[in-house]
Structure 1
Amino acid sequence: MNRRGFLAAAGLTAAGAALATATSGTARAAAGPFRVPAEDGRHTRTWMAWPDSTSIWGGALSGVQADIALIARTVAKYEPVVVCANSGSAAKARSMCGSTVTVLSSIPVDDCWMRDTGPVFRTDGAGGLDAVGLSFNGWGNKQTHAKDALVAERIAAWTGVAFTRAALVGEGGAVEQDGSGTLMATRSSLVNRNRNPGLSESRIAAALCDAYGASKVIWFDGVRGQDITDDHVDATSRFLSPGEALVQMPLSTDTDAYARDARQQYATLSAATTSTGGPIDTMSLQGPDYDKIRSTNRDFLASYANYYLCNGAVISGQFGDTRADAAARATLARLYPDRRIEQLDIDRLGTGGGGIHCVTQQQPVV
């Protein structure tokens, strides 16, 4: 059972995607000196998690573990990597990840999605570091998460930084930040009663701004009820810098809910402004042809946009559409000329509905 197919398999698929017209962002005053920096800054380390549950992954577990190990080893070429593993599977994690990766058995986990379960680290520009937890609830109580709900707080304690819990329920993959006061997110994921019942969009925006040290949220309508995340933004749209953004675009012939969602995100960003009122230069990253990728699973997530920035490199997926893979590599090389581009075959993880950004969480240098 994978993240995109979860609801359909459970018989809970919504009648349709919640897609409407593009609307403007929600703004408010920034709350304090701490702010989540842009991902392209220097990192102290990358945090990951080791999956070991056959009740979640079934027969796909060994392949997903191989992908997690590959990602960990690749990132470890550029910066330290710490993988949280349950004590019973820590030895296997160490064996598969190799000596360049640290495996920590004191922080138990349910699954591998560290972007969603891990702490969101913030800096104050003066040597200070703290962490915020987004009160992870298993993407709206769709999956077991008793251990994962405590991961953010436990990692913060391990690093010795102050920890606070945000005044909303969400996941790190549901929010993109530019490091200068602007956020983007989907309503389908956060303005949703399975996370934040009774909270208005404006209250959720305020809580996001408080948590991230931001002052504006650019909202996309998103896709509701079609995958376990309710459409995380980091699979489609990313900030490149303040005033610059990237959207993975579908083929012109693609007409499904996610294709319509991507086009709406592009239109919204193209018309939006940053927290300081400047325009957002929005560029496109062409997605692959699903008829040409290796996977034949209809729920496969082939997201080049779900890349991870680490010290000196961009870690991205490649999916077997050779022309699109090469074009994505060239686009990322142009956008990040001072970084090495690493493209990985993560098809097992993609079949599970996630990507490289979904399973990594950066701890910034202060």
Structure 2
Amino acid sequence: MAWRMPHEGDPHERTWMAFPNEGPTLGDDPAEQERFYAAWSAVANAVAEFEPVTMLVDPVQAARARTMLDGAIDLVETPVDEFWFRDHGPTFVVDDERPGALGAVDWIFNGWGAPEWASWTKAAAHARFTAGLVGAEVVSSLLVNEGGGIHVDGEGTVLVTETVQLDPRRNRFADKERVEAELARTIGATKVIWLPRGLTRDYDEFGTNGHVDIVATIPTPGRVLLHAQQNPEHPDFEVSHTLRAFLQEQTDAAGRAFEIVDLPAPETLRDHEGFVDYSYVNHLVVNGGVIACGFGEERADAQAREILEAAYPGRRAVTVDARQIFAGGGGIHCITQQQPALTSAEATR
């Protein structure tokens, strides 16, 4: 059995999400909560224009979800506490030696390092629950990990961050060798690239301690889209330069040096909490499209769409305002998870 995580640009069966429920990351202010629900729904409705969407919904939110979501979106009622589905849902994998075999990696999820504010016991059951819904084989793992902590090229390369998988709050006794062995077993990684860190805001109380999916992604094998903060007043200006220099020294699983494409940050530097981590890297690739984060900046949002459409030829980029999602600790990629279509060599990269 040789599991492999497909590239995000390979054909999808559908996208999975979870509808927000009351809790720490939803906030206490009713107006803010409504903006949260609206932003989540806007993402789901945008994805539904390109491919099927299934949404896990806590029964207490079912009526709200039916009102706010496109009627084509499938709703499945189940208990929900945390709702950042990329992180607590399954990571889908395939077995090239068994056409039609679908696996679902069930990482251990502890709320991004078991912070005091997090509530995750219901969310931790979603990977197996989802696997059961689609008939996927559960691939159990003892690694504390989240889907936002990995990005793959589908050919053996995976990007991770030293401050996530080696976080002692997640994996107290882990070292790189143990993590790499588990990533090889579960997602077919043959080359693990360890970014030294993530973006500054991501180390705040409600951050993930450096998820890679807000920093860098691989649109096609051999190429990296890298978050580029261009204002020296922002601490991520130095972070961007450090990560670019690091990636210039790396090679992928096939031995290729990376072509690095900058994806400039918007001009906004701060919100009421401090320096923002607004990043266009945190997009979702869908069948025929890209769902891009928007930050209320017409020029910057348009530039990001142009870069994304060039990086994913043949796809149309659509912007969804993601500022309220980022205020909660993540972006569009963080709240979605793709299920690969069980086809062989029909990748549309």
Query: Structure 1 length as normaliser, TM-score?
Result: 0.86
SS of aligned partner of 1:166: strand
CA deviation digits over 1:116-168, x for unaligned, max 9? 01101111232211110111110011211010111111100111111022231
Task: Say if 2:102 is the partner of 1:129.
Answer: yes
Q: 1:277 pairs with 255, 280, 291, which one?
A: 255
1:9-50 deviations in Å (ceiling 9; x for gaps): xxxxxxxxxxxxxxxxxxxxxxx5220000001111100001
2:23 touches 2:81 (CA, 8 Å); kept in 1? Answer: no
CA contact (8 A) 2:153 2:220 kept: yes
Aligned-pair CA distance for 1:211 = 1.5
Q: Deviations over 1:311-339 (max 9, x none)?
A: 11100011123322221111112222311
Shift of 1:289: 1.2
Select 2:197's aligned residue among 215, 222, 230.
222
State yes or no: 1:80 paired with 2:52.
Answer: yes
Structure 2 residue aligned with 1:45: 14
Displacement after TM superposition at 1:56 (Å): 3.8
Q: Is 1:232 paired with 2:211?
A: yes
C-alpha displacement of 1:231: 1.1
1:209 to 176, 184, 187: 184
CA contact (8 A) 1:67 1:349 kept: yes
1:297, distance to aligned residue in structure 2 (A): 4.5
- 1:191 is matched with which residue? 166
Give every structure 1 segment of 4 or more consecutive aligned residues whose post-TM-superposition deviation is greater than 4 Å: none
Please state how far the C-alpha of 1:261 moved relative to its aligned partner: 2.7
Q: In terms of mean alpha carbon deviation, does 178-187 or 278-287 score higher?
A: 278-287
- Offset at residue 279 of structure 1 (A): 1.5
Structure 2 residue runs without a partner (length 5+) = 343-349
The CA deviation string for residues 176-231 of structure 1, in whole angstroms up to 9 with x for no partner, is 11100000111111111100001112211221222111111100111584352001
Map 1:54-73 onto structure 2 (within 5 A).
Answer: 54-57=23-26, 58-59=28-29, 60-73=32-45
Which of 236, 239, 242 matches 1:264?
242
User: 1:163 is paired with a residue of what secondary structure?
Assistant: strand
- What secondary structure is seen at the aligned counterpart in 2 of 1:89? helix
In 2, the alpha carbon distance for the partners of 1:290 and 1:56 equals 22
Q: Matches of 2:257 and 2:114 in 1, distance apart?
A: 38
What corresponds to 1:20 in structure 2?
none
Matched, 1:332 2:308: yes
Q: Tell me if 1:301 matches 2:269.
A: no
**How many angstroms apart in 1 are the aligned matches of 2:181 and 2:238?**
28
The Cα of 1:102 is off from its aligned counterpart by 1.1
Q: Distance in 1 between matches of 2:272 and 2:173?
A: 40
Deviation, structure 1 residue 86: 0.6
Inter-partner Cα distance in structure 2 for 1:242 and 1:167: 28
The structural deviation recorded for 1:265 is 2.0
Contact in 1 for aligned 2:83/2:123 (Cα 8 Å) = no
Aligned CA RMSD, in angstroms, stands at 1.7
User: Contact 2:87–2:148 at 8 Å: present in 1 too?
Assistant: yes
Question: Could you tell me whether the CA contact under 8 Å between 1:168 and 1:208 is conserved in 2?
Answer: no
The 1:194/1:324 distance shift into structure 2, 3 A limit, reads same
Mapped to 1, the partners of 2:290 and 2:93 lie a distance apart of 22
1:263 and 1:94 mapped to 2: Cα distance?
45
Moved more, 308-317 or 60-69: 60-69
Cα separation, 1, equivalents of 2:90 and 2:303: 33
Deviation at 1:90, TM superposition (A): 1.1
Structure 1: tracts of 5 or more residues without a match: 1-31
**Matching of residues 337-356 of structure 1 within 5 Å:** 337-356=313-332
1:11-26, aligned counterparts within 5 Å? none
Aligned mates of 2:315, 2:150 — CA distance in 1: 24
Q: Helix, strand or coil: the match of 2:75?
A: strand
Question: Contact 2:293 / 2:322 at 8 angstroms: preserved in 1?
Answer: yes
| 2:340 is aligned with 1:364 | yes
State the match for 2:228 in structure 1: 249
SS of alignment partner, residue 137 of structure 1:
coil
- Offset at 1:299? 5.1
Q: Which position in structure 1 is the counterpart of 2:4? A: 35
Shift in CA distance, 122/86, structure 1 to aligned 2, threshold 3 Å: same
- Any conservation in 1 of the 2:25–2:328 contact (CA below 8 Å)? no
